[in-house]
Chain A
């Protein structure tokens, strides 16, 4: 069980211009930190080709601090980091849920209290190369 945790996304881009000595700047930002004091967490790592690798949150090999396998009944958030790139799919045949090409993608599940049929799956963005991935799953 999670004792404490957080997921933070922080985007800040500065846009500057100089027109005949008049400097203008816009700062674009979108930041959110969500704290979690309960729930379950697991991490799944591996490699994949363009053929999808299936991940079933109800049946993972990852074990918690007590040594018990972590089994989810619902997934709230997913964070995928893949090199050189991979898509995260909802269910084995579903639409792409997000894409990481080196930098992480962070998504919420559409049905946080129930698991998608078939779980999730991950596939390389490239037809010619495999991808290595790390997926963090947070839920209940």
Chain B
């Protein structure tokens, strides 16, 4: 449970980072014509679309982990010497390393990774812009869903975490926690139009980076350290 809370917190802090792109989208989605209630609905739809995509990615990642572990761990495979536990440890090491790399990016290191993801986003986001001003309730929902698949280092980090859980359900829950964590900031920015000062944004990014680094190191630890040493974290 604690792990999900950490993910939630990381999502919350990390969403201050989202101001760069998703925040821009949320602002552009803007207030609806029908007053505050319509605006709230519009942004709730957008964010639930986004959440659904995250959950799907999480469940998919978790299921992938599960599939790898169960296939390789099954008795009659050539991997007989590798137990399900070993496979899960390898997954944890890979995911942990990925998360550490992503977190370094939040501290302003590894600019090339950042540029790669930013370039990819630009291609997709052009196509999505036309949805921003489309009327009706379906548009913000669809926009949220597609937005959820835009490349984002924050999302990658938690998808990596979800793979390491090696369970579809845990992967889903990881991404639910992350997605809900991003809700407050995104709703605030989009619905109310509050934009944090750059100094706060920078702090948020650092906090998010620290959380992800911590989670990454814990995940890495689960792969490397002997069983039981990180007993409290077996939930993820």
The judgment on whether A and B are partners is no
